[in-house]
């Protein structure tokens, strides 16, 4: 049986016409799933009973379960979600006066093992399906209402689950579904050149962020093992190609770690990398997690001042959800989490 949650309206139409259902029913089904969050066909009361029975025989609508939610003193929420195979993922909701931003996961665990990130300590378990990626977004939207920003910066590397991530984005972006604007969606990658170039060819206005963290190739390889396969010069060439193709600015995410990548020489190299590119630098003071040997830098303000003086757009990402381990680099499920 096929999961209708992971199909676009035209794909649903193609499938149901094989069952002699009218193609216009596809839009209705899509709206039931992605606007009204139906999880069974019985709820679709503008379809005839016989049509609902036929759909039930050939398709299903997947879902996930809320295992636990933790709420920070700053109102950030972290959701522990159970998948149908009893694996877990986490997602974080950041609340502002006029904005609700969800940090979305794309993999169970993460294969990259970046030195400063808790998620990578889990190792890689599996990719999320497109339906599972959509489910975490729609589940939390149903609970909270009004999601208007998505950042694919949770557990996992989105570009190592490229097809499912892009399919999920297209479905969430569809006007008949949640209709979250592409410019309200950001995808972060640690740097996979061929996928960055492929992403530039997609007909989407989605924003791209690069997890940079060091402007020196050797240091970046130390912090991010993926850099040993795809060197910083290779990644930057792909970023240049992306900017040229799309005309869109790229965000460089830079986690500041005390005495590791916050030295004067690191700042000089960062300025050199950014000055000749249309980028926005987001400085992120390291968020601690159990077992980490690193400390957060206190130089974010200094880095911001110097970067701006060099003509580079720069901001500091303020810590959110630190007390519930929902901040950047802290998303990690443990077996004890579900208890």
Active-site amino acid positions: 90, 328
Q: Which residues partner with 81 through β-bridges?
A: 66, 89
End-to-end CA distance of the chain: 33
- CB–CB of 126/87 below 8 Å? yes
Helix 162-173 to helix 130-144 angle (10° resolution) is: 40
Mapping DSSP to helix (H, G, I), strand (E, B) and coil, where does residue 8 land? coil
Q: Which residues partner with 93 through β-bridges?
A: 77, 102
Torsion of CA 328, 81, 175, 208, to 10 degrees: 20
Q: Measuring CA to CA, which residue among 193, 153, 149, 187 is closest to residue 167?
A: 187
Q: Which residues partner with 274 through β-bridges?
A: none
Structure tokens at 287: 């968020």
User: HEC states along 216-270?
Assistant: CHHHHHHHCHHHHCCCHHHHHHHHHHHHHHHCCCEEEEEEEECCCCCCHHHHHHH
Q: Which conformational region is residue 309 in: left (phi greater than 0), alpha (psi within -120 to 50 degrees), or beta?
A: alpha
Rounded to an integer, what distance in angstroms lies between the CA atom of residue 75 and that of residue 127? Answer: 29
- Which residues does 309 contact at the CB level (< 8 Å), separation at least 6? none
């Amino acid at each position: 049986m096929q999961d209708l949650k992971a199909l676009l309206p035209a794909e649903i139409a193609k499938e149901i016409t094989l069952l002699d259902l009218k193609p216009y029913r596809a839009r209705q089904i899509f709206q039931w799933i992605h606007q009204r969050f139906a999880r069974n066909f019985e709820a679709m009361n503008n379809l005839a009973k016989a049509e609902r029975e036929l759909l039930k025989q050939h398709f299903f609508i997947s879902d996930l379960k809320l295992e636990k939610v933790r709420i920070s003193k700053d109102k950030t929420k972290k959701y522990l979600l159970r998948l149908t195979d009893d694996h877990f993922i986490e997602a974080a909701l950041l609340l502002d006066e006029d904005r609700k931003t969800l940090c979305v996961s794309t993999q169970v665990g993460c294969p990259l093992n970046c030195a400063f990130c808790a998620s990578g300590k889990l190792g890689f378990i599996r990719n999320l399906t497109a339906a599972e990626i959509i489910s975490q977004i729609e589940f939390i939207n149903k609970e909270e209402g009004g999601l208007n920003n998505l950042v694919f910066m949770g557990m996992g590397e989105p570009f190592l689950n490229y097809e499912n991530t892009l399919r999920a984005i297209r479905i969430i972006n569809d006007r008949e579904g949640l209709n979250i604007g592409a410019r309200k969606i950001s995808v972060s990658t640690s740097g996979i050149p061929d996928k960055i170039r492929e992403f530039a060819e997609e007909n989407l206005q989605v924003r791209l962020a690069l997890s940079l963290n060091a402007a020196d190739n050797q240091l970046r390889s130390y912090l991010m093992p993926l850099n040993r396969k795809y060197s910083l010069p290779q990644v930057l060439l792909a970023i240049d190609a992306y900017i040229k193709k799309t005309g869109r600015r790229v965000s460089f995410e830079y986690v500041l770690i005390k005495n590791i990548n916050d030295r004067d020489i690191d700042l000089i190299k960062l300025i050199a990398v950014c000055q000749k590119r249309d980028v926005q630098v987001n400085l992120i003071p390291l968020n601690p997690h159990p077992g980490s040997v690193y400390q957060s830098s206190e130089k974010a303000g200094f880095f911001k001042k110097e970067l701006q003086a060099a003509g580079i757009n720069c901001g500091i990402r303020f810590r959110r959800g630190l007390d519930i381990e929902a901040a950047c680099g802290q998303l990690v499920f443990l077996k004890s989490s579900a208890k």
